[in-house]
Amino acid sequence: MALQPSLQSALVIAGKYDAPHTLDIFLDYVCPFSAKLALAIDGVLKPLFAPGGKYAGKVKVIFRNQVQPWHGSSTFVHEAGLAVARVAPEQFWTFSLALFANQREYYDIPVSTLTPTQIREKLAELVSESIGEDKAAPFKDLLTLKSTPNGGVDVTDDLKYTIKFSRQNGIHVSPTVLWDGLIANEISSSWGEKEWTEFLEKKVAV
């Protein structure tokens, strides 16, 4: 499926953009099941799609930000991911894994007494810890309210893009996985190497 050009270098987290097969994986940073699937992406899929892997050049994985507004911090954590995609696209997945590892800090109760500014400051600290102190300042600048009173931040348009993409494709929950544009309901966050290997053996045709 298509991906906004400015996000291609960050959100294609495994394989190459011109690979013929596509796994679109819709994840929410504060969803525990998304965190489980993220570990499978990192440990199972990325090696298979990397140079020298069994499916190198055949399959790509696109990270799809799935904002779930029933979690109060979901918008803020996805803004953070998209800001890192701008500041350090090559480290987007590294930051995403760090955010998944620390997701409990952004659950509903832990953030219930924090202001939006405080949540963004907390995320900037995670940026500094996970991908480098030099990335924190430009990251914070992208998430600073500085236009009209209701104009959002510098990655609001990217956030709108990801939300509109999910809506028009009927994606409601995370994780949801598409194979070549169609929802693959059989894929589970609990899948390990065995299940993914069997799935790919059936699906990869080129």
Please give, one letter per residue, the 3-state secondary structure of 107-171: CHHHHCCCCHHHHHHHHHHHHHHHHCHHHHHHHHHHCCCCCCCCCCCCCHHHHHHHHHHHHHCCC
Band of pLDDT at residue 205, cut at 50, 70 and 90: confident
**Which amino acid is residue 121, in one-letter code?**
E
Please state the pTM of the whole predicted model. 0.96
Q: Give the integer Cα–Cα distance in Å for 110 and 120.
A: 14
β-bridge partners, 22: 60
Fold classification of 5-203 is Glutaredoxin (3.40.30)
Q: Give the integer Cα–Cα distance in Å for 173 and 163.
A: 12
pLDDT digits (tens, 9 = 90+) for 80-124: 999 999 999 999 999 999 999 999 999 999 999 999 999 999 999
Examine the pLDDT at 206 and tell me if it is beyond 80.
no
Q: Extract the tokens encoding 34.
A: 């998304």
What sign for the dihedral angle of Cα 106, 32, 34, 94?
A: positive
